[in-house]
Amino acid sequence: MWLVKITCPEDAWKRFVMDFQRSAEKYQGVCITSKKMSDGTRIMEYKVEDVNDAESFVTDCSNLNGFKADFESL
């Protein structure tokens, strides 16, 4: 089990929300946390079963300008 953590500023979210959602749907993950901070920053955490999916999800997110992602073992 893997925890994928994603953060992005508000402007990046507005520009790439559809691309992010398409990416999130590709992987067998469950969103366990989604927060919008007072400055508009989004923080999301997904639980992903397969390490390859976690790595690919991080790569997809990192390719969206302004998005930062990493993962760790649960």
Q: Is the pLDDT of residue 28 over 90?
A: no
Q: Is the pLDDT of residue 46 over 90?
A: yes
Fold that domain 2-73 belongs to in CATH: Alpha-Beta Plaits (3.30.70)
What does the pLDDT read at residue 19?
96
Stretch (H or E) spanning 18? helix 10-26
pTM of the model: 0.92
Q: Domain-by-domain residue ranges, the chain?
A: 2-73
How many angstroms separate the Cα of 60 from the Cα of each of 31, 37, 38, 71?
Answer: 16, 23, 26, 13
What does the pLDDT read at residue 16?
97
Cβ–Cβ under 8 Å, residues 57 and 27? yes
Short-list 28, 31, 21, 16, CA closest to 63: 16
What does the pLDDT read at residue 32?
97
